[in-house]
């Protein structure tokens, strides 16, 4: 049994992956090929992450351009709306002035008491009877 145990320890120490104690902690060491494969796998992960990041950056740039165009259009629309408000205010002022002028014209055109035809009709009957 002791020989079997000794042989298994010997075989474990010969294998490619070794466990080394450093500062009281076990640290696993790898062969050159294993380390190279792990580095390739890590590089592949980073490349996929970089590709995702690049696509996000492109989407952000596209969105930013779209937002810039929208902001420009909204600023133009705001300028047009402010001009329309100014024009509407002037139109309201003009309509009020025209309304006042129309009221004055109605007062001028309104017949006076002596222009009433019924009064002259009554006066004519009275003078005719006399």
Q: What is the pLDDT of residue 63?
A: 84
Strands (E), the chain: 18-22, 25-29
- What integer is the mean pLDDT of 11-31? 58
Largest CA distance in the chain: 167
Q: How far apart are CA 75 and CA 80, in angstroms?
A: 9
Expressed as residue numbers, the domain containing 20 is 2-129
Per-residue pLDDT reduced to its tens digit, 34-72: 888 888 888 888 988 889 999 999 998 888 888 888 899
Q: How far apart are CA 18 and CA 6, in angstroms?
A: 17
- Is there a contact between 23 and 17 (Cβ–Cβ < 8 Å)? no
Query: Which region, left, alpha or beta, applies to residue 24 given φ > 0 means left and ψ of -120 to 50 means alpha?
Result: left
Number of domains in the chain: 1
Q: What is the pLDDT of residue 99?
A: 95
Q: What is the pLDDT of residue 69?
A: 87
Query: Which region, left, alpha or beta, applies to residue 116 given φ > 0 means left and ψ of -120 to 50 means alpha?
Result: beta
Q: Kindly report the CA angle at 24 between 21 and 29, in degrees rounded to 5?
A: 25
Q: What is the pLDDT of residue 16?
A: 45
Per-residue pLDDT reduced to its tens digit, 66-105: 888 889 999 999 999 999 999 999 999 999 999 999 999 9
Task: Evaluate the CA torsion angle 20, 25, 26, 29 in order and state its sign.
Answer: negative
pLDDT-derived band at 27, boundaries 50, 70, 90: low
Task: Answer yes or no: is pLDDT of 13 > 80.
Answer: no
Q: Which two tokens stand for residue 58?
A: 């492109």
- What integer is the mean pLDDT of 27-32? 73
Q: Which two tokens stand for residue 109?
A: 């055109």
């Amino acid at each position: 049994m002791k020989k079997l145990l000794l042989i298994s320890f010997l075989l474990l120490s010969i294998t490619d992956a070794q466990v080394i104690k450093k500062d009281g902690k076990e640290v696993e060491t790898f062969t050159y090929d294993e380390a190279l494969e792990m580095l390739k796998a890590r590089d592949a992960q980073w490349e996929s992450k970089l590709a995702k990041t690049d696509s996000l950056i492109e989407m952000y740039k596209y969105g930013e351009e779209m937002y810039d165009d929208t902001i420009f259009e909204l600023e133009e629309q705001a300028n047009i709306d402010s001009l329309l408000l100014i024009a509407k205010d002037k139109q309201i002022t003009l309509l009020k002035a025209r309304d006042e002028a129309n009221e004055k014209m109605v007062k001028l055109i309104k017949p006076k008491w002596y222009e009433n035809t019924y009064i002259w009709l009554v006066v004519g009957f009275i003078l005719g009877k006399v």
